[in-house]
A = this chain, B = another copy of it.
Amino acid sequence: ANPFTLIAGPCQIQSLDHCLMIAERLAKATADAGVGFIFKSSYDKANRTSLDAKRGVGRDEGLAILQGVRDRLGCPVLTDVHLPSDCVPVAEAVDVLQIPAFLCRQTDLLLAAGATGAAINVKKGQFLAPWDMVNVAAKIASTGNERILLCERGASFGYNTLVADMRSLPIMARTGYPVVMDATHSVQQPGGQGTTSGGQREFAPVMARAGAAIGVGAIFIETHEDPDNAPSDGPNMIHLERMPALIASLAAFDRLAKADPLAV
């Protein structure tokens, strides 16, 4: 099995310079560690807890910035789509379309995304059992597009809390599609701060490491150079300066896992 791919970047696109700064750091760290890299950032946070929260730069500007990152650094880029009509224009600009967790059962969005032929990373809904992702993947695959990734990002566990069930990784892997461990959203506390979501940033490396040890295909991490002042998901993003050491550490667990695959 191949080394894992790191899917990482700031939650929200702020500017081309900001994205490039982060992407360069991550590209170097992943290259040093011998793992893959896909830059991730969002142009529109379409489901913020509160209307007053910042939504982002918008699609046109966001796609231009993501293409700028891709052109300058040569790395693939990923962003999320929210409506079927987003899929074609976004797929022209990025390599991987991401389906947000809340939207993972929206048939038209899955079909529109699949029809672009782009790779599709589907976040498992907080309300969904891991075995039910087989039906989600089948909707995409019905378009003839089998470039599917299935992502664990935590399941609802009481109110304002998620829990990442490690069984979901091997369960989703039975589909044959690569599985992604989203380390930073798994420690989100949705709505936990009244008008914004909280998070437990300190446990994101725990989730990432557990995923690496289980041998996932990709690890998803949101990061920022100043999480406490980031426009979204600050409480669960990992500080950028911690990323190089974390990536190197995850690569070591990944190598061990890939040399000793779990038979489940």
Q: Which residues of A contact B (CB under 8 A)?
A: 46-51, 55, 82-84, 102-103, 105-108, 125-132, 135, 138-139, 142, 155-161, 163-167, 169-170, 187, 190-191, 195, 200, 202-203, 205-207, 209-210, 212-214, 249, 252-253, 256-257, 260, 262-264
Residues B138 and A51 in contact, CB atoms below 8 Å apart = yes
CA distance A204 to B163 in the complex (A): 18
**Copies of this chain:** 4
The closest CB in chain B to the CB of A209 belongs to B213
**Chain B residue at minimum C-beta to C-beta distance from A252:** B256
Among B49, B125, B187, B262, point to the contact of A205 (Cβ < 8 A). B262
Q: Is the CB of B102 within 8 A of A103?
A: yes
Residue of B nearest to A263 (CB): B205
Chain B positions within 8 Å of A213 at CB level: 209-210, 212-213, 253
**Nearest-neighbor residue (CB-CB) of A128 within chain B:** B191
Which of B105, B165, B190 contacts A163, CB < 8 Å?
Answer: B165
Q: Is the CB of A206 within 8 A of B163?
A: no
Contact B209 A262 (CB under 8 A): yes
Establish whether residues A167 and B206, one from each chain, have CB atoms under 8 Å apart when the complex forms.
yes
Distance (whole angstroms) from the CB of A120 to the closest CB of chain B:
15
Report yes or no: A166 in contact with B206, Cβ–Cβ below 8 A: yes
Given contacts A203-B170, A206-B214, contact A108 B46 (CB under 8 A): yes
List B contacts of A159 (CB < 8 A): 129-130, 155, 157-158, 161
8 shortest interchain CB distances as A-B pairs = A158-B158, A213-B213, A129-B159, A156-B156, A47-B105, A132-B191, A126-B127, A210-B210
